[in-house]
Amino acid sequence: APAVSPCPQSAQYGSCSLRKMSVMEALELLDQLVDESDPDVDFPNSFHAFQTAEGIRRAHPDKDWFHLVGLLHDLGKVLVLFGEPQ
């Protein structure tokens, strides 16, 4: 039997055919939205990503994969700009 997608968005976005962008472009797109979980923040969402990655780098200098995870952890939020709820 074919594998069942764990989420309906997988069929819509899984092929990455709607729009392709670099990580930096996606981080810049984050700055266009107001995060419902933190609406009173006065700095761009991309700053939070860099701040998180840098904090992880300081705490875990030997885990470069973890630095990357800190940078990328909120990138899925760009889907709000394509009509998905937060």
SS3 for 56? helix
CA–CA separation, 5 and 12 (whole Å): 11
Mean pLDDT of 17-29: 88
| pLDDT tens per residue, range 36-67 | 777 677 888 899 999 999 999 999 999 999 99
Instruction: Work out the angle between the directed axes of helices 45-59 and 64-72 (0-180°, nearest 10).
Output: 160
**Beta carbons of 82 and 18 less than 8 angstroms apart:** yes
pTM of the model: 0.75
SS3 for 81? helix
- 73 annotated as ligand-binding: yes
**Beta carbons of 19 and 25 less than 8 angstroms apart:** no
In the chain, the amino acid numbered 31 is D
